[in-house]
């Protein structure tokens, strides 16, 4: 069934039982990043509880009734089991908001699909010609009326982005954390054996000395962060201690690609492919030596590229207070430091530095780019891996 804007229909007429369904969302808008969310609202159209906003950084409601799971062929989406929702939830409202520059009039085309398993039961299509300068959309709503769940195809433009939507639905957005005041440094000794990559895109090339590079040690250190829970996004993005993890994507010259990280217990191997090993998982930031990736430089010729990243497995993405940095130490080479000196407090993943095999030399390039997760970062660097949800417990 093709739904028109404003059309309403009983879910039971689309889905057997009218209780369990999948929702697929796709929006074609060149150069724009769009976040999709599902708000669980009460009878007054207010956010019943912050835990019932399901989006990229809170992928499921506590009852399990709504989960951020993308159906095959779509860009984003949800799986919904209405039988699990508490009685306080009367509506599920699916929205889209632009992250960064752009307006909804620039959308080439988009749709929301209602699926019975993998079978498409209904589709609501729209395009940028339906909107103007709005930066958010209220797409569809599933609501309870007279004991039955119904679907409304809304397609309403909304001024403002995700934060404005949260406030519209009665939530509170935490203020952006302020960086601590800086103090003039006391004059430290000049370290002639250290290279600090200051600007994004800046590179340094470390030539091979002798038969090989020896051990390439990548060290991550950060300052533990413990912040009080304040505001809706403050709560949704975590609280308490921060668990900052070090990891990497690697590509060998034989085409082998994968990741080395604590998440999923993929710690790697130093003496065999991929010749990269994560030595420990520091969950508090108090380990004196931090976290280390060890790359076997005797096999550097077998390695094509390595993308060093950090991600916040637990805790709020407060990169400014974490004050993180990586240091590369290679025998008979100057130490190379890359600091996370620019910040995105709504992104838990940071691609820090790219190591490339440049005719035997190690080319180190500062990246410090923030992403919503592994998949977004993978796509940005065209790694082409398949990702599934993982755990360290």
The whole-number pLDDT of residue 281 equals: 55
Residue 82, SS3?
helix
HEC letters along 156-173: EEECCCHHHHHHHCCCCC
| Domain end (from 118, 150, 168) | 168
Tell me whether residue 185 is in a domain.
no
The continuous run of DSSP H or E covering 363 comes out as strand 361-371
Peptide bond into 360 cis (omega under 30): no
Q: What domain range is 214 assigned to? A: 194-380
Query: Per residue in 130-165, pLDDT tens?
Result: 888 899 999 999 999 988 999 999 999 988 888 888
- Do 154 and 254 sit in the same domain of this protein? no
- Do 29 and 79 sit in the same domain of this protein? yes
How far is 40 from 142, CA to CA, in rounded Å? 10
Tell me whether residue 392 is in a domain.
no
Instruction: Provide mean pLDDT across the span 319-345.
Output: 85
- Which of 12-26, 40-54, 189-203 shows the lowest per-residue confidence on average (mean pLDDT)? 189-203
- Do 25 and 127 sit in the same domain of this protein? yes
- Do 86 and 17 sit in the same domain of this protein? yes
Residue 337, SS3?
strand
Count of structural domains within the chain: 2
Tell me whether residue 137 is in a domain.
yes
- Do 124 and 251 sit in the same domain of this protein? no
Q: Are 40 and 49 in contact (CB under 8 A)?
A: yes
Confidence of residue 390 (pLDDT cuts 50, 70, 90): low
Tell me whether residue 189 is in a domain.
no
Tell me whether residue 138 is in a domain.
yes
Q: Are 266 and 259 in contact (CB under 8 A)?
A: yes
What CATH number corresponds to the domain at position 163?
Answer: 2.60.60.30
| Domain end (from 117, 133, 168) | 168
| Domain end (from 134, 168, 202) | 168
Residues 6 or more apart whose Cβ sits within 8 Å of residue 242: 222, 224, 225, 226, 285, 312, 314, 315, 316, 318, 322
The whole-number pLDDT of residue 29 equals: 87
Could you count the other beta carbons within 10 Å of the beta carbon of residue 262? 20
Q: Are 332 and 209 in contact (CB under 8 A)?
A: yes
Please tell me the number of Cα atoms within 13 Å of 257 on its side-chain side: 13
- Do 30 and 137 sit in the same domain of this protein? yes
The whole-number pLDDT of residue 104 equals: 92
- Do 205 and 154 sit in the same domain of this protein? no
How far is 143 from 263, CA to CA, in rounded Å? 38
How far is 167 from 150, CA to CA, in rounded Å? 25
Q: Which pair of structure tokens corresponds to residue 222?
A: 């950060």
The continuous run of DSSP H or E covering 377 comes out as helix 374-380
Confidence of residue 336 (pLDDT cuts 50, 70, 90): very high
Please say if the pLDDT value at position 192 is more than 50: no
Which residues on adjacent β-strands are paired with residue 324? none
Please tell me the number of Cα atoms within 13 Å of 383 on its side-chain side: 26
Query: Per residue in 22-49, pLDDT tens?
Result: 999 999 988 788 889 999 999 899 987 8
- Do 65 and 110 sit in the same domain of this protein? yes
Burial class of 95 by CB neighbour count within 10 A (0 to 12, 13 to 18, 19+) = buried
- Do 218 and 361 sit in the same domain of this protein? yes
Tell me whether residue 181 is in a domain.
no
The whole-number pLDDT of residue 221 equals: 85
Q: Which pair of structure tokens corresponds to residue 297?
A: 């430089």
DSSP for residue 329: E
Tell me whether residue 343 is in a domain.
yes
Helical residues (DSSP H) of 100-195, grouped into ranges:
162-168
Q: Are 148 and 18 in contact (CB under 8 A)?
A: yes
The whole-number pLDDT of residue 234 equals: 46
Tell me whether residue 174 is in a domain.
no
How far is 229 from 233, CA to CA, in rounded Å? 9
Burial class of 247 by CB neighbour count within 10 A (0 to 12, 13 to 18, 19+) = buried
The continuous run of DSSP H or E covering 320 comes out as helix 319-322
Confidence of residue 392 (pLDDT cuts 50, 70, 90): low
Question: What mean pLDDT, rounded, does the chain reach?
Answer: 84
Please tell me the number of Cα atoms within 13 Å of 367 on its side-chain side: 21
Please say if the pLDDT value at position 287 is more than 80: no
Q: Which pair of structure tokens corresponds to residue 359?
A: 């005719």
Instruction: Provide mean pLDDT across the span 349-370.
Output: 94
Could you count the other beta carbons within 10 Å of the beta carbon of residue 207? 11
- Do 210 and 347 sit in the same domain of this protein? yes
- Do 213 and 158 sit in the same domain of this protein? no
Kindly report the pTM of this predicted structure. 0.52
- Do 213 and 157 sit in the same domain of this protein? no
Confidence of residue 334 (pLDDT cuts 50, 70, 90): confident
């Amino acid at each position: 069934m093709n739904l028109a804007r404003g059309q309403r229909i009983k879910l039971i007429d689309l889905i057997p039982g009218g209780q369990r369904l999948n929702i697929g969302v796709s929006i074609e808008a060149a150069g724009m990043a769009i976040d999709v969310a599902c708000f669980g609202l009460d009878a007054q159209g207010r956010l019943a509880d912050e835990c019932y906003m399901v989006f990229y950084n809170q992928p499921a409601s506590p009852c399990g009734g709504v989960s951020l799971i993308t159906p095959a062929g779509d860009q984003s989406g949800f799986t919904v089991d209405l039988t699990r929702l508490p009685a306080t939830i009367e509506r599920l409202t699916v929205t889209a908001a632009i992250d960064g520059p752009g307006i909804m009039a620039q959308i080439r085309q988009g749709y929301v699909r209602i699926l019975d398993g993998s079978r498409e039961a209904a589709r609501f299509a729209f395009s940028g010609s339906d909107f103007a300068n709005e930066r958010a959309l209220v797409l569809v709503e599933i609501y309870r009326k007279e004991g039955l769940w119904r679907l409304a195809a809304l397609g309403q433009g909304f001024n403002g982005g995700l934060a404005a939507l949260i406030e519209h639905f009665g939530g509170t957005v935490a203020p952006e954390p302020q960086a601590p005041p800086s103090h003039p440094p006391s004059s430290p000794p000049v370290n002639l054996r250290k290279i600090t990559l200051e600007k994004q895109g800046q590179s340094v090339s470390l030539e091979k000395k002798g038969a090989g590079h020896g051990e390439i040690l990548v060290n991550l250190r950060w300052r533990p962060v413990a912040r009080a829970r304040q505001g809706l996004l403050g709560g949704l993005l975590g609280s308490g201690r921060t668990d900052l993890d070090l990891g990497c994507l690697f590509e060998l010259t034989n085409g082998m690609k994968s990741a080395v990280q604590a998440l999923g217990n993929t710690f790697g191997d130093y003496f065999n492919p991929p010749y990269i090993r994560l030595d420990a998982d520091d969950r508090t930031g108090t380990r004196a030596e931090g976290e280390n990736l060890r790359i076997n430089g005797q096999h550097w010729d077998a390695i094509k590229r390595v993308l060093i990243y950090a991600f916040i497995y637990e805790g709020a993405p407060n990169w400014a207070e974490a004050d993180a940095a990586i240091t590369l130490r290679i025998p008979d080479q100057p130490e190379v430091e890359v600091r996370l000196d620019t910040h995105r407090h709504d992104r838990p993943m940071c691609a820090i530095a790219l190591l490339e095999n440049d005719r035997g030399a190690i080319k180190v390039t500062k990246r410090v780019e923030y992403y919503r997760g592994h998949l977004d970062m993978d796509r940005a660097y065209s790694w082409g891996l398949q990702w599934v949800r993982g755990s360290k417990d």
